Amino acid sequence: MGGVWVYAEVKEGAVKKVAFEILGEARKMASSKGEECCAVLVGQGVEGLAPTLGAYGADKVFCVEGEDFARYTTGAYTKALYDLVQKEQPSILLF
């Protein structure tokens, strides 16, 4: 439980640049708190993007995948993130 998390938005099959910038700050925060720095990817076929986030400082990457995420819908993405946060209980979640 705990950790500093970053929601890494994906657009057109790539992680948006701002996610890497936020991940850098999250890495600093996690280190100062003695916690893990984690990233969250939601979408269809996003698992292949996880190593890139690891290279930018994520200790762990949570991937929520499925056909429900082929197209962005606020409800599906919000529920996926909400369920994961309820289960894992991060200390901080950055967007």
pLDDT, tens digit, 9 for 90 and up, residues 36-67: 999 999 999 999 999 999 999 999 999 999 99
- Between CA 15 and CA 82 the distance in angstroms is 20
Structural domains of the chain, with CATH: 4-94 (3.40.50.620)
- Segment 68-83 shows an average pLDDT of 96
Q: What is the pLDDT of residue 7?
A: 98
CA 56 to each of CA 44, 53, 76, 88: distance values in angstroms, whole numbers, following the listed order: 22, 5, 27, 22
- Provide the whole-model pTM: 0.95
